[in-house]
Amino acid sequence: MKITYTQNGDYLIPNIKIRKAKKSLGHYGRLRKAYLQQFRPILYNELILTEKLYEHCAEIEETARHRIELIVPELAKQYGVTEKLKAENQMEWVRQMNACKVQAEEIVKHELIYTP
């Protein structure tokens, strides 16, 4: 990518245009973007300059959602959250499934979102 510059007084300002994304990012993509912006500013700026930030965050979003879909049933099986429990006590089943989802989200955040 060749960058052109505009003279502004004594300074050369790069002519950078950021394209608008076709689709907005989901929760995990926005978390990744915020993490990069705050804790990895060099990588963040590099992704912006190469116009790969959106693609990177969208890939993280898709991967995170897929991982959660895989992890939640495994955690539910591990903790014994079954359809039998759902039939006996629906509120307890919901509580335990929510706990499994939260745990899966923490795993995904550690694996994908908050990693260098």
pLDDT tens profile 67-91 = 999 999 999 999 999 888 888 999 9
- Separation between Cα atoms, residue 74 and residue 68, nearest integer Å: 10
Statement: residue 55 has pLDDT above 90: yes
Residue 83 lies in a domain: yes
Domain range for residue 29?
Answer: 22-113
Q: What's the pLDDT tens digit per position in 5-46? A: 999 999 999 887 766 667 889 999 999 999 999 999 999 999
Total number of domains in the chain: 1
Residue 76 lies in a domain: yes
Q: Using a cut of 0.85, tell me whether the model's pTM lies above it.
A: no
Residue 95 pLDDT level (bands cut at 50, 70, 90): very high
In this predicted structure, what is the pLDDT of residue 21?
A: 61
Residue 95 lies in a domain: yes
